[in-house]
Chain A
Amino acid sequence: EAGVVQSPRYKIIEKKQPVAFWCNPISGHNTLYWYRQNLGQGPELLIRYENEEAVDDSQLPKDRFSAERLKGVDSTLKIQPAELGDSAVYLCASSFGHSSYEQYFGPGTRLTVT
């Protein structure tokens, strides 16, 4: 069984540029999460989807971040424009059901903003 797939694995951009991350969850998992992990810290939830619906986006900086999950499968997280402080690892995770189920994480995208 394939795991959570993310691309790209690494991205280096200059500040004020846009960037997008893509995630393909495990087949059959209807809950998808985007996390941001800063160096030496635990993952912090940005947004959670139940199928196509964003049920928790309270931690998503909506002035520059946007996300979508069309057709309830793949998801894209976008930052426009990027700031130096956005440098982090962006992790996508999926689970079979709601948040109380174990989450399966993808390898992450390491973003460096210069």
Chain B
Amino acid sequence: GQQVMQIPQYQHVQEGEDFTTYCNSSTTLSNIQWYKQRPGGHPVFLIQLVKSGEVKKQKRLTFQFGEAKKNSSLHITATQTTDVGTYFCAGHTGTASKLTFGTGTRLQVTL
């Protein structure tokens, strides 16, 4: 079955440093979504990417979808303590298919 892996599994940065998480799918995706889950909370939708090579920005967050539509990345510039949480990518292989979540990257930010 479809597998979606993320690296790193965990990253600890100091506030102000940059952070990147990478997402790799075993199969070609029709689209990819990113979610953030705060400690003790539930996943919250951040963004969806659909087109090959697409890049989207949300303030300090930059999302990319690979040319082959099998990988994606999330980059956070100048992290803040409010960025703490686990970031999940999640991909569809078709318009009516299930959403397969990645393994997640847990981000810890300290002052």
* A interface residues with partner B (beta carbon < 8 Å): 40-45, 48, 55-56, 91, 93, 98-100, 102-108
- Complex contacts, A98 vs chain B, CB 8 Å: 95-96
B79 at the interface (CB under 8 A from A): no
Contact B43 A105 (CB under 8 A): yes
CB < 8 Å neighbour of B101 from A44, A104, A106: A44
Interface of A is mostly: loop
Q: How far is B103's CA from A55's CA once the two chains are assembled, in angstroms? A: 25
Distance to closest chain B CB from A21 (angstroms): 14
Number of A-B contacts (CB under 8 A): 51
- Complex contacts, A99 vs chain B, CB 8 Å: 92, 95-99
* Given A103-B45, A105-B42, A106-B42: A41 and B104 interface contact (C-beta under 8 Å): yes
Q: How far is B99's CA from A56's CA once the two chains are assembled, in angstroms? A: 11
We find that the number of chain B residues with CB closer than 8 angstroms to chain A is 23
* Given A99-B92, A100-B30, A100-B31: A45 and B42 interface contact (C-beta under 8 Å): no
Q: How far is B90's CA from A99's CA once the two chains are assembled, in angstroms? A: 11
Contact B44 A45 (CB under 8 A): no
- Complex contacts, B4 vs chain A, CB 8 Å: 42
Distance to closest chain B CB from A95 (angstroms): 9
- The closest CB in chain A to the CB of B88 belongs to A42
Distance to closest chain A CB from B20 (angstroms): 18
Distance to closest chain A CB from B58 (angstroms): 14
